Amino acid sequence: MAGRFRRRHPFTSYHSIHPFDYAAAPIHMLTLTLPLRWAGMLLLLLLLSVMAMPISGLAVPRKKLALITGGNKGIGKEIARRIGMDPEFTAIIACRNVELGLAAAEDLRTNSEYECDVIALPISMDLTDPSSIEAVAHWVEKEYEDGILDVLINSAAICFNDPTLYGKVQFTPFQDQAGITIRTNYFGTLHVIQSFTPLLKRSSSPRIINIASAAGRLTILRSQQLVDAFTSDTLTVPALSKLMEQFVSDVESGTHTNKGWPNTCYGMSKLGIIALTRILAKSHPEMMINSVDPGYCRTDQNDNQGTVDPARGAYTPYLLALMERDDEEEEGGGEKEAESGLHFYEEQEIPWTYQS
Ligand SMILES: NC(=O)c1ccc[n+]([C@@H]2O[C@H](COP(=O)([O-])OP(=O)(O)OC[C@H]3O[C@@H](n4cnc5c(N)ncnc54)[C@H](OP(=O)(O)O)[C@@H]3O)[C@@H](O)[C@H]2O)c1
């Protein structure tokens, strides 16, 4: 279903121009004798066919489009840089602060190793505001011909760093962290995915890359019942969302530890993202949907205490954006391993338990 898109730009948009518009033609042309008019028409047809030749010869292959949430800084910005430097792609930065997004895009275009094709959205997208997410999906659909999005990378998230680990995050009691963390990181990301799915389905190789974390490893759950619920093959998105809501209400009522939930709202939000990735990969076999742990990167999320360069953390998401799907059988007749619904760390698929 892939089609070509043309980025609308005031300097490149063109209007349909008819070179021989009788209504607009000067009066003296309409008084030409009939044979002369026929000769004129023939000449015009010849001219038109000559003009059409170089136009079809200039057809350029369509560039793929990748949208990165939280692309104004940290790992998201480095993902936007890597993807924007790939000649196959145009990267779009989506963030809640338009000014920060525009500044990041300008910085990437000016200060990247290679030419970086990146733009920032002129409208805000806040994960806690569903209407802003829908407005952005609508903007992309209208702005790019054929309304295609090829790659969606969900990097935006919040973390309260228990409770103000690095002194940079305003102190928020644990009971108050759950609602906002799950609303932003889990439900916000889910809403982004749902809003962009129609655009992704028009791509010939759609993919979603969800930035998760080791904090969301399965072993943080302290009850086998919860482990079974999150890993069930029959788990659906509504059922998963219910589990996430249950976690919030159990934290708010102070009963979460008795029920086997962990003492980390951020970890639970990322565990939810990994579970969501697995469910969506099953229900959308036409897409490649994976999650990535970028490692402990030096970003504002940890007041730059991380040990990994965010550019390194951006590498696996970039590879997943690039990787071609290969549905063919492996040599020897065996089935190729699934390439969707997996969790990655440093270019490798790793188990959700983080125990091999
Ligand atoms: N850094 C690490 O060590 C590490 C480790 C594992 C996983 N991760 C994950 O990697 C991803 C990127 O994190 P990072 O380290 O690059 O963090 P970061 O530098 O703090 O960037 C977070 C991004 O999320 C955006 N964001 C937060 N709340 C939002 C909201 N309500 N609506 C829209 N955007 C929102 C921020 O926008 P503003 O600029 O407007 O705040 C920012 O662009 C996150 O998913 C994070 O959980 C990070």
pLDDT tens track of the chain, all 356 residues? 222 222 222 222 212 222 222 233 332 333 333 455 556 556 666 665 545 554 544 567 889 999 999 999 999 999 999 999 999 999 999 999 999 999 999 999 999 999 999 999 999 999 999 999 999 999 999 999 799 999 999 999 999 865 455 566 778 889 999 999 999 999 999 999 999 999 999 999 999 999 999 999 999 999 999 999 999 999 999 999 999 999 999 999 999 999 999 999 999 999 999 999 999 999 999 999 999 999 999 999 988 889 999 999 999 999 999 987 665 445 555 555 558 999 999 999 999 999 98
pLDDT at residue number 325: 66
Protein residue closest via CA to atom 7 of ligand 1: 213
pLDDT at residue number 18: 25
**Full residue range of the structural domain in which residue 162 is found:** 64-325+335-349
CA distance 192 to 182: 14
The side-by-side arrangement of strands in the sheet containing 64-69 is: 118-120, 89-94, 64-69, 151-154, 207-211, 288-293, 343-345, 348-349
User: Rounded to a whole number, what is the largest CA-CA distance in the chain?
Assistant: 97
Q: List the alpha helices (DSSP H) in 189-223.
A: 189-200
Report the separation in Å between the CA atom of 154 and the middle of ligand 1, taken as the mean of its atom positions.
9
Report the separation in Å between the CA atom of 278 and the middle of ligand 1, taken as the mean of its atom positions.
22
Catalytic machinery residues: 266
Retrieve residue 345's tokens. 């760390």
What is the number of the ligand 1 atom nearest to the C-alpha of 297? 3
Written as one letter, the residue type at 221 is L
User: Domain with 229 in it: what CATH number?
Assistant: 3.40.50.720
Is 97 a pocket residue for ligand 1 (Cβ < 6 Å)?
Answer: yes
Residue 298 to residues 112, 162, 268, 279, 304: CA-CA distances in angstroms? Answer: 19, 17, 22, 31, 4
How many domains is the chain partitioned into structurally? 1
Q: Answer whether 296's CB lies under 8 Å from 302's CB.
A: yes
Q: Residue 356 domain-assigned?
A: no
Q: Residue 12 domain-assigned?
A: no
Pocket test for ligand 1, best of 68, 69, 72, 73 (most atoms within 8 A of CB): 73
Is 70 a pocket residue for ligand 1 (Cβ < 6 Å)?
Answer: yes
